Amino acid sequence: MASSVISSSPFLCKSSQAKDLGFPKPSQISVHRCQKRSISRKIVSVMAPQRSSSSTGSVKTGMTMTEKILAKAAEKSQVVPGDNIWVNVDVLMTHDVCGPGAFGIFKREFGEKAKVWDPEKIVVIPDHYIFTTDQRANRNVDIMREHCREQNIKYFYDITDLGDFRANPDYKGVCHVALAQEGHCRPGEVLLGTDSHTCTAGAFGQFATGIGNTDAGFVLGTGKILLKVPPTMRFILDGEMPSYLQAKDLILQIIGEISVAGATYKTMEFSGTTIESLTMEERMTLCNMVVEAGGKNGVIPPDATTFNYVENRTSVPFEAVYSDGNASFAADYRFDVSKLEPVVAKPHSPDNRALARECKDVKIDRVYIGSCTGGKTEDFMAAAKLLHAAGKQVKVPTFLVPATQKVWMDVYALPVPGADGKTCAQIFEEAGCDTPTSPSCGACLGGPADTYARLNEPQVCVSTTNRNFPGRMGHKEGQIYLASPYTAAASALTGHVTDPREFLQ
Amino acid sequence: MASSLPTFSRALPSSSSKTSPSFIPFRSPSLKITSSASFLPSSISLSSRRASFIIPRATASSSEGSDSLAKTTFHGLCFVLKDNIDTDQIIPADKACIFPSNQQERDEIGSNALSGLPDSHKPRFVEPGEIKSKYSIIVAGENFGCGSSREHAPVCLGAAGAKAVVAQTYARIFFRNSVATGEVFPLESEVRVCDECTTGDTVTIELRDSGGLLTNHTTGKQYKLKAIGDAGPVIDAGGIFAYARKVGMIPSPSVA
């Protein structure tokens, strides 16, 4: 059983209440502190008179990263979980599906002639339903073009020629990957997006979460949003990452542990030696699926890896923040990563965790490698590395959907380490995979009927995407196994759900 | 430009279409009306845990006048769902291109409400060929509305004629969107009501200051509902924009 190899005993941090997994009540915090002071008075012979925190106004409770980011964005010196605050937004992202609705609400509420709060803080990234003949999908991109033109939006990654994505110099692709690649993700900031996987950006040590059109319309006009400060659940991952394990395995492990509602309304903070060893793209994969556990946002303390990535892509200054040593956490989970094994999420829930090796009798019909979760450069590098090591042909149709133009280019240009100078594209071709297609969200969420790699029949698919609820990729009876790129590639080679250790040693 | 989403007042079965400034159905005794509020359901809000859950008897409300009673009551057939109904089941992702900027598209999105449920799930929420559902109240289990942040989820339910949802718990973005759009009233039950109701049962929901009461006329059972909690002031005001205007964060919309 997977759970037996994890030394994860959820224990609550010392100052929080034992049974209540909610945030500590402010009144209880001050009572706790008063008790501490009265004890110490007996020990110390000479002591200044103790004043309550409210009279001095200077005593600060330790805050978590998320609390600090939100406090700063609300121009307050201190917040605690449960506080309802108006927060200044640094970046608002929207895409083709929700952008029209968000701007529509903005105009309805602020007036037809209203102007957005800051045309340089809005990033519009068409990515969901792009390469389709669906007229309403095409209409959405046109509508966004009009809004961006009228409002002078600085960052609009437009696409006009749907026949050849390469003919569109501005077009990027999947919004969450594009945000990172274009330098819009920076430590300490508040980033909102009209997409549930906006939490991906938490990998950069910022507060990032998904909102609906109405909230987005509000932000467009004001640059602010009303938020309730979430309590933080801490996940400490230590140990050397096995060579066959990826960040996708880690997050599926965690979601399987706490369930799809295990982090509802809470922050998931990831730290530990394993986290420190992860690349930015792997950290993005980890934070990407925080929403699948119900989480409000995910966050990883920024370090040299973060700064290196960010500073290569933007010159906008930023200020990293970190959780205080005496911050209160709602829950603590510890994992010894060296003992973990590749896992999948079986149909039809992201928390339906199982060991990949225990699913080896599951016959599959296809493999899908793509999306913000598993369609980044390193995801394709990993899949290609395994295919090259195996030296075999795939047994089922294997669909490759690079997340962005840049990823697509990397797939064709970058040599895969240890593969005799071959690129991902060459390895994929030799293994019999489908040709990497135009970058977009693709079939992760089904899409219009003509979407490439959409599940139009009740087939079994191993996918590097993020959700597998009924009908997610199209057909309601489709069976989706969520997996890491390694596991997806291994499964493609055997035609069954397969542990990547079969090919990686 | 036609309003793309209705304001909150339309979600309530009020006989009058004008918004009433004095209409405040929820005033939890422990709820402090400050300049801040949130979209957190009461199961997380600690202040509402301490709120009184003593529901006044139905007869007591008659003294408040028929007008307020009409605004605080939902009545109709219920449609029962279980746990983890995600947004793609509520409204399949390929329908996301429809945005209800006009009545025709609003009808279309309503006719597709809950069409993502497995084909084996019967009866359908909206019969094929229909635009509206005959069920005005949805009863669900845990984590209702998990998945996407797309507002199409609460919008399609409202467009199909649903007035309220009684779930055991909600996914946060869906709850927040329900409050922000005012399309459906998100209520939380204290027990697993979804196991004790059957699709087609006739139910009444009466909302009170300290919570609500769900009566299943078909089974004769009654269930307490949790107080709306911190989302109260935002719902009271009529959504996030109205609330922001009320607290002075934004001015009223200027006419183009």
| ipTM for the whole complex | 0.83
Residues on chain A touching B240 (C-beta within 8 angstroms):
214-215, 218, 226
Rounded percentage of chain A residues whose pLDDT exceeds 90: 88
- Domain at B101, CATH number: 3.20.19.10
Is residue A21 predicted with pLDDT exceeding 50?
Answer: no
Asked if the structure places residue A334 within a domain, the reply is: no
Say which DSSP state A152 is in.
T
pLDDT in tens, A192-248: 999 999 999 999 999 999 999 999 999 999 999 999 999 999 999 999 999 999 999
Asked if the structure places residue A32 within a domain, the reply is: no
pLDDT in tens, A397-440: 999 999 999 999 999 999 999 999 999 999 999 999 999 999 99
Asked if the structure places residue B145 within a domain, the reply is: yes
Asked if the structure places residue B199 within a domain, the reply is: yes
Closest residue on chain B to A227 (Cα): B38
Residue with tokens 């996301």: B96
Q: Is B242 on the interface with A (CB under 8 A)?
A: no
| pLDDT for A2 | 38
Mean pLDDT throughout A458-481?
97
| pLDDT for B31 | 31
B70-to-A3, B16, B66 alpha-carbon distances in Å: 52, 10, 6
Residue (of A278, A93, A257) closest to A203 by Cα position: A278
Show which of A227, A255, A286 is a domain's final residue: A227
A264 and B84: CB-CB below 8 Å?
no
Is residue B205 predicted with pLDDT exceeding 80?
Answer: yes
pLDDT band at B59 (very low <50, low <70, confident <90, very high): very low
Closest residue on chain B to A351 (Cα): B84
Mean pLDDT throughout B229-239?
82
Asked if the structure places residue B159 within a domain, the reply is: yes
Backbone angles phi, psi at B181, to 5 degrees: -85, -25
pLDDT band at B102 (very low <50, low <70, confident <90, very high): confident
Q: Is B102 on the interface with A (CB under 8 A)?
A: no
Q: Which of A104-118, A380-394, B61-75, B121-135 has the lowest mean pLDDT?
A: B61-75
- Domain at A185, CATH number: 3.30.499.10
Mean pLDDT throughout A326-335?
97
B88 and A469: CB-CB below 8 Å?
yes
Please check whether residues A367 and A496 belong to one and the same domain: yes
B187, B212 in Cβ contact below 8 A? yes
B94 and A140: CB-CB below 8 Å?
no
Segments forming the whole domain that contains residue A410: 348-500
pLDDT band at A375 (very low <50, low <70, confident <90, very high): very high
Q: What is the pTM of this model?
A: 0.83
Show which of A227, A246, A266 is a domain's final residue: A227
Is residue A13 predicted with pLDDT exceeding 70?
Answer: no
Asked if the structure places residue A56 within a domain, the reply is: no
Show which of A193, A227, A261 is a domain's final residue: A227
Q: CB-based contacts of B90: which residues, under 8 Å, 6+ apart? A: B113, B114, B116, B145, B153, B156, B157
Asked if the structure places residue A61 within a domain, the reply is: no
Residues on chain B touching A212 (C-beta within 8 angstroms):
149-151, 173, 176-177, 180-181
A261 and B88: CB-CB below 8 Å?
no
CA B5 vs. chain centroid, Å, equals: 14
Asked if the structure places residue B135 within a domain, the reply is: yes
Please check whether residues A494 and A353 belong to one and the same domain: yes
Asked if the structure places residue A489 within a domain, the reply is: yes
Residues on chain B touching A114 (C-beta within 8 angstroms):
254
Mean pLDDT throughout A107-116?
95
Is residue A177 predicted with pLDDT exceeding 90?
Answer: yes
Can you list the positions of beta strands (E) in A145-185? Answer: 155-156
B205-to-A274, A435, B49, B191 alpha-carbon distances in Å: 51, 55, 20, 15
Beta strand A479-482 with B73-80 is unpaired
A 118-137 residues with CB < 8 A to B: 128-129, 134, 136-137
Residue (of B191, B227, B36, B169) closest to A265 by Cα position: B169
Asked if the structure places residue A360 within a domain, the reply is: yes
Number of domains in chain A: 2
A247, A286 in Cβ contact below 8 A? yes
Q: Is A149 on the interface with B (CB under 8 A)?
A: no
The strand pairing partners of A336, in sequence order, are: A238
Angstrom distance (rounded) from CA B83 to CA A265: 18
Number of domains in chain B: 1
Residues on chain A touching B158 (C-beta within 8 angstroms):
none
Of A110, A212, A471, the CB nearest to B151: A212
Is residue A6 predicted with pLDDT exceeding 70?
Answer: no
Asked if the structure places residue A42 within a domain, the reply is: no
Backbone angles phi, psi at B108, to 5 degrees: -65, -45
| pLDDT for B10 | 37
pLDDT band at B103 (very low <50, low <70, confident <90, very high): confident
Mean pLDDT throughout B16-41?
35
Q: Is B94 on the interface with A (CB under 8 A)?
A: yes
Of A25, A98, A446, the CB nearest to B92: A446
B256 and A211: CB-CB below 8 Å?
no
B256 and A112: CB-CB below 8 Å?
yes
Q: Is A221 on the interface with B (CB under 8 A)?
A: yes
Is residue A324 predicted with pLDDT exceeding 80?
Answer: yes
Q: Is A502 on the interface with B (CB under 8 A)?
A: no
Asked if the structure places residue B43 within a domain, the reply is: no
Long-range own/partner contacts, residues B241-249 (CB < 8 A, 24 or more apart):
B241/A109, B241/A214, B241/A218, B242/B7, B242/B8, B243/A226, B243/B37, B244/A218, B244/A222, B244/A226, B247/B35, B249/A86, B249/A222, B249/A224
Of A113, A211, A260, the CB nearest to B143: A260
Asked if the structure places residue B236 within a domain, the reply is: yes
Closest residue on chain A to B34 (Cα): A84
Asked if the structure places residue B14 within a domain, the reply is: no
Question: Helices A424-431 and A405-413: crossing angle, nearest 10°?
Answer: 80
Nearest-neighbour CA in chain A from B4: distance (Å): 7
A84 and B230: CB-CB below 8 Å?
yes
Please check whether residues A222 and A355 belong to one and the same domain: no
Asked if the structure places residue B50 within a domain, the reply is: no
